Amino acid sequence: MAGGLLGVGGGIILVPFLAGRFKLPQHAAHGTSLAALGATALTSLIVYAAHGSVAWLVAASVGLASAITVHLGVALAGRLSSANLKRAFAALLVVVAARLLWQPAASGVALPAAEGARLALEFAIGAGVGLLAGFMGVGGGLIAVPAFVLLLGMAQRIAQGTSLAVILITAPIGTWSNARRGQVVWPLIPPLAIGAALGGAAAAALAHALPQTLLARIFAIFLLGVAANSWRRAGGPPKPAPSHA
């Protein structure tokens, strides 16, 4: 439902659920979540595409860049302590959410006139999406959707549909990378994928029945919830170093 309504993979909801309810190790929760997200992206994307809400050329360039960096994100997840990253990620989401709540309509920055410069911006967005997808086991829509709205000036629904097209590239590649490390619990994938496919399609239809401004504000509120959860999971503010005086 989250994937179809908001253009995100839904991993930000699925990862804590898999780690909590099913007691999966954190890395296995990330890998299993990413493997299930392709079903959300596929059925939701069909609905968005039927309404003409996908910028296919942007999705191709961003998806290509994300495919390159998702492996790096998976590798980093196995090596780094994520507490400070979660805090920084939470702070970024709060800033983006505040901007979307303040001005939900697409406006975009002054884009470079040169086609090469615009393509470089799309590749930079894709690199960030891939890193996030691999590191946190999510589809990357949390970065892609606001980047498309705020940097490329897309309407909210087109940003969400384009994000789903990118996820359909990123999720299988990230799954393959996780599977090589034994971080996918395959018996869970079929029921998760079926539920994700059904919920994604239904919510994508709902997304096209809502006003764009309301949809953008719903997305912003969702970002604030994700930011609060990310900050909580990081253990709150960084603790000061103990004094040795």
Give pLDDT tens digits for 193-224. 999 999 999 999 999 999 988 898 898 898 89
Structure-derived torsion over alpha carbons of residues 216, 12, 207, 191, reported in degrees to the nearest 10: 180
The answer to whether position 239 is within a domain reads no
The answer to whether position 200 is within a domain reads yes
d(CA 136, CA 33): 10
Task: Note down the domain range covering 18.
Answer: 2-233
pLDDT of residue 108: 47
Give whole-number Cα distances, 172 to 71, 80, 151, 187, 200, in Å.
11, 23, 26, 17, 17
Give the residue among 61, 174, 189 at the shortest CA–CA distance from 127: 61
d(CA 22, CA 32): 11
The answer to whether position 240 is within a domain reads no
d(CA 160, CA 205): 12
The answer to whether position 22 is within a domain reads yes
The answer to whether position 209 is within a domain reads yes
pLDDT of residue 103: 67
Residues in the chain: 245
pLDDT of residue 106: 54
- Tokens representing 2? 């989250």
Give the residue among 166, 156, 146 at the shortest CA–CA distance from 216: 156
pLDDT of residue 207: 94
Mean pLDDT for all residues in the chain = 83
The answer to whether position 99 is within a domain reads yes
Q: How far is C-alpha 95 from the chain's CA centre?
A: 16
pTM of the full structure: 0.82
3-state secondary structure of 152: coil
Counted domains in the chain: 1
The answer to whether position 241 is within a domain reads no
The answer to whether position 137 is within a domain reads yes
pLDDT of residue 160: 93
pLDDT of residue 76: 76
Ranges in the chain, pLDDT < 50: 108-110, 241, 245
What Rg, from alpha-carbon coordinates, does the chain have? Answer: 17
